[in-house]
């Protein structure tokens, strides 16, 4: 989503570095800030007291590979490159 993750099949030393970077991101509250900004934006389309079925949510916000990139771009205030999986 944001370039911070653990790539499958990477050498153990790379996995260790990526895990440390991911842990630091989580510790710094990166996902908390994302949730604070994105959830209200997404949920504002619906009645706050309604129980929204997943199918209805997905019709409004279709799942896509670009959606998390866009969300983090808004959080960081800049465009991010989208790299296809290898």
Domain count, the chain: 1
* The Cα angle at residue 15 between residues 8 and 33, in degrees rounded to 5: 90
In a domain, 86, yes or no: no
In a domain, 84, yes or no: no
* Structure confidence by residue, pLDDT tens digits, 46-79: 998 989 898 998 899 888 877 877 877 887 777 7
In a domain, 7, yes or no: no
* Eight-state DSSP code of residue 17: H
Q: What is the predicted pLDDT for the residue at 47?
A: 92
0.85 exceeded by pTM: no
- Domain limits for position 55: 12-76
In a domain, 61, yes or no: yes
Q: What is the predicted pLDDT for the residue at 46?
A: 93
In a domain, 17, yes or no: yes
Which residues, 6 or more positions from 75, have their beta carbon under 8 angstroms from its beta carbon?
Answer: 33, 34, 37, 38
In a domain, 39, yes or no: yes
Mean pLDDT of 81-85: 60
* Structure confidence by residue, pLDDT tens digits, 6-50: 777 888 998 898 888 888 877 777 667 777 888 888 889 999 898
In a domain, 1, yes or no: no
């Amino acid at each position: 989503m944001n370039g911070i993750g653990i790539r499958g099949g990477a050498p153990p030393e790379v996995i260790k570095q990526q895990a440390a970077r991911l842990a630091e991101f989580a510790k710094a509250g990166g996902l908390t800030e994302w949730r604070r900004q994105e959830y209200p934006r997404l949920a504002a389309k619906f009645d706050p007291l309604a129980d929204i079925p997943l199918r209805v949510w997905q019709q409004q916000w279709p799942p896509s590979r670009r959606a998390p990139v866009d969300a983090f771009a808004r959080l960081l205030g800049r465009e991010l490159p989208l790299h296809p999986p290898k």
